Structure 1
């Protein structure tokens, strides 16, 4: 209700400390960019951005874009530098929408997609109108997958190259330390010794890169690995804001020579990062050797205000009203109110603590207990539609249809139904023994590949119009 919204706004404006937070649920819908922007607008206007108790920014020890380059200025976000071939969807931060993948494979033309490499992903389950993409994958001339499983995606591959067990690999968190509520860093060595002669994934990826670049299957992996780190060192010593600006690249490389692959990249990123030892210039700073000596990690302290230092905008300021977002507000104004939909339903997703997308469904200990791939529906909608708890219902959208068990709950709003994503392990050519015992249904059979947030290119995975019929 509007009065509740106004009350929340007043409380936000007058609270000593407050924060508005939004994530996947607000992003993967038709106005994901606008919704994400409005979260920031609320925090800025209420004085809660970059303030203790509000929305703050961690300073990651390595590989964070907001610690590279000159503090406070940058190019900002650029989009539309190229477009997809079939529908002309714009590139966003170097990527095209995955919703375009099927049509780019299917549509004739000299530059259609003929080959595909997947790395531990499952797009056959995770992309909108998954049924269409599964059919398109069979039209590829060649497909190679790096994966541990023969799953819904890799069953289409000509070659599957298995990686090591996660327990045979070292681990360094790049992404989530950039979302942390306290600055910290940790490196985890492998738990078990790897099987002899089983290449690491980075070695396989470099070999594939060598093949793609015409060097053949006997490409010199060590040379390619050396090229990767040399390019990073050269960029850092040439950057004015780098802690190692002006240093001799050969000297830096010699200090990294005892490592290879990702661990060498991590060591370099740590030592040239905001807390690093700068290869001797800051003796108490971080290095991979120091993390190895402290296996439980290092506490780097509480979050501190970082604006304007972390900004990478052309103006050097928070650009709160970018024109592309303001222009999209006209589209928002045209949205039909829920009250006028005449009893129509919309579909949203969800996931449980035991399930991370489609990754965890083949692990026996996580698949015990009651079935979790059910359709949540409000009691009033269940009564209106004649739905019974535990019985099957048919859910239909423009893209497809699934039959799913009903779970009646007042935890969901009237007019909304919810099916978790990442399920649908009923493909006959997959070999997921545990997952196949409780296959569930794939919610992305229902999502529509033509429905995108035009600013980000994200697929609309929440708010999908559907009809529901009791079976």
Structure 2
């Protein structure tokens, strides 16, 4: 790599911040924000500087390793591929295709090469026992998008740069840099909101970093957000504030939603939620009365017992108050590579509940079962039991509930392989670890997070460093395994046409495919003067062809669609290489009804699965408010799940893995600040130092997500030295949202007491 400044996108979270990396003598000299990046405009968070730590980490694996009686031993790539393919094929042949399980972690969505090769890899394995981080995260948003708009990744994005009221519930974008809302420099954007006399409202069980900037803050009891939102819906109807605006002609079943909310007057829900009835009414009035406004929910509302219904109601509130598809409200993006339209064209807009898991009968979503049932499928004997397992860029032992049980399950597998460059709490159970190249050794394009950005942008980054000759990209690893598994399934040899296809895919790699996607997308081919001749002829042909003819879909997706005629054109991979800081494609724009993928072309305001859950919500209302301590997670701007704790600069300073507890609750349990407390539930427990703070609601305690690096046999010394404890070692994997199948990571009841060592305990 040449000395000088190189421009990239930071891949460590959803914000897509542009970075300027200075290289001197083949080493990283500095990492700064790229002021020319059209989305981040020079902003970076502390994680970006840690790109250097991850790249240079001496504990990062560079060659395949296998577990032996004498410890981990390096092996060649050919040996590794042969061993993994033969063992997976053996298990599949002896016990059936569903005897192999697969888990995909969230780093895969930051990697266009891995995304493009995951599908052929999964097809080659052929299992129905697929899992991912989705059901521990954003599944309720995907389900609501599928049910209401017809596509699982068609998310309404808050137009935060133009809104005058931003209501944030169960989200902390100051720590996350946005989530399902790609928004670098959220502090600057919130400052701009206030400068134009706008208002920020935050509702959360904890006074978060975002809440401390709010004009208005309300505590809410974990798991009761659906009651708050339903009472807001009630207020809109009761005070005749429903006004969907321009989207009204596209909305179905407003009357059904009205009937559903009748039992949830603000006075009826106030005691349960912790918000006064008048505060709830005023929230609804403010949302309805502010023309440019957006209501945004995230992890705190997703990963709870009513995650599905809460997310649906949040979408409904934006729609009922006329905020859908208007500037300053919530809008759909138009990315350069339109995975939404591509998926719909190929029949992959999403599905839910086509089949159910073997043990607990939990519904699949997009072909994946809930992560909460992984251990069930491994530990429960019988036909279809998972006996071999594949993890790709994931650490579910720390990121899924009841991690200790999953630990036990993985330990008993017949075979396990992990595609990962760290020996972590999950991969330590593997028989073989296949380490991919580091992120700075491969090209980068954000296929996924461009779908969620608060502004349409496109940016391609070339590899910053040349990968070593003994390394493999993750797309190469997945393709090679898929190829060998297909060969094994066919008796060792594929038909020559199929073999040519595999070889061509391996030679091409992801970037030429990306180039085709860019050229044929909305901002692609520029016909110039020829468009005056082509367009009328094309219109004539399209008028003759049947509505569902494949060419109709191709033209709708292509730059020839009249809908795109005012968009900038000529986008390609070579264009993006000429603009290493990225290309600004413009602000989010109204796009309905063209952007809808429902069968009747309308927004489904009251899908039946949510209406059916109203009875469960009524039952919650009929119960007395819980007196137990409710556990919630939290996140810090210097962290992201479990995979950044081996960076010294990110974990240094004050211990962040603490138990946050309100002074009233601490006094009841005789807890002192800084002393150790035991948090336990159902025989599961962890021990953490106490942090007493009025920033958390009485009756609520908080542990950060992603820690717990004290398990033996890992290879991350920095993380182990700052081990903390895993919140998921306390959480019960039996608790899931029945509507969506999402893990309940927020709102489970726990007990807390002073920790005593064995020596301190009195004899029974």
TM-score range, shorter chain: 0.7 to 0.9
Q: Within 2, Cα distance between the matches of 1:329 and 1:167?
A: 48
SS at match of 2:297: coil
> What residue number does 2:650 align with?
366
Q: Within 2, Cα distance between the matches of 1:225 and 1:347?
A: 53
Q: 1:325 aligns with which of 604, 607, 610?
A: 610
Cα 1:139/1:379, change in 2 over 3 Å:
same
> What residue number does 1:62 align with?
337
Contact 1:399 1:447 survives alignment (8 Å)? no
Q: Deviations over 1:143-187 (max 9, x none)?
A: 100111100000000000111111101111112111111100100
> What residue number does 1:213 align with?
486
Contact 2:343 2:349 survives alignment (8 Å)? no
SS at match of 1:80: strand
Q: Structure 2 matches for 1:73-112, cutoff 5 A?
A: 78-112=351-385
Q: Post-superposition shift, 1:310?
A: 1.3
Is the aligned partner of 1:354 residue 2:629? no
Is the aligned partner of 1:314 residue 2:599? yes
Q: Within 2, Cα distance between the matches of 1:219 and 1:369?
A: 56
Is the aligned partner of 1:264 residue 2:512? yes
Q: Within 2, Cα distance between the matches of 1:116 and 1:104?
A: 11
Q: Deviations over 1:364-403 (max 9, x none)?
A: 1111110000011111111222111101111111261111
> What residue number does 1:45 align with?
320
Q: Within 2, Cα distance between the matches of 1:119 and 1:154?
A: 10
Q: Post-superposition shift, 1:108?
A: 1.0
Cα 1:284/1:362, change in 2 over 3 Å:
same
Q: Within 1, Cα distance between the matches of 2:526 and 2:354?
A: 35
Which of the two has greater helix per residue? 2
Q: Post-superposition shift, 1:264?
A: 2.2
> What residue number does 1:415 align with?
699
Is the aligned partner of 1:147 residue 2:432? no
Is the aligned partner of 1:287 residue 2:565? no
Contact 1:229 1:265 survives alignment (8 Å)? no
Contact 1:75 1:312 survives alignment (8 Å)? no
Q: Within 1, Cα distance between the matches of 2:510 and 2:604?
A: 35
Contact 1:229 1:264 survives alignment (8 Å)? no
Q: Post-superposition shift, 1:279?
A: 10
Q: Post-superposition shift, 1:311?
A: 1.0
SS at match of 1:3: helix
Instruction: Say what the alpha-carbon RMSD is for the aligned residues.
Output: 2.7
TM-score by length of 1: 0.88
Cα 1:130/1:258, change in 2 over 3 Å:
closer
Q: Post-superposition shift, 1:17?
A: 1.2
SS at match of 2:310: helix
TM-score by length of 2: 0.55
Q: 2:304 aligns with which of 12, 24, 29?
A: 29
Q: Within 2, Cα distance between the matches of 1:90 and 1:422?
A: 26
Q: Post-superposition shift, 1:214?
A: 3.5
Say which is worse superposed, 164-173 or 378-387, in terms of deviation: 378-387
Aligned residues: 441
Q: Structure 2 matches for 1:231-242, cutoff 5 A?
A: none
Q: Deviations over 1:214-268 (max 9, x none)?
A: 3499999x987974799xxxxxxxxxxxxxxxxxxxxxxxxxx997211122112
Q: Within 2, Cα distance between the matches of 1:106 and 1:428?
A: 22
> What residue number does 2:74 align with?
none
Contact 2:515 2:573 survives alignment (8 Å)? yes
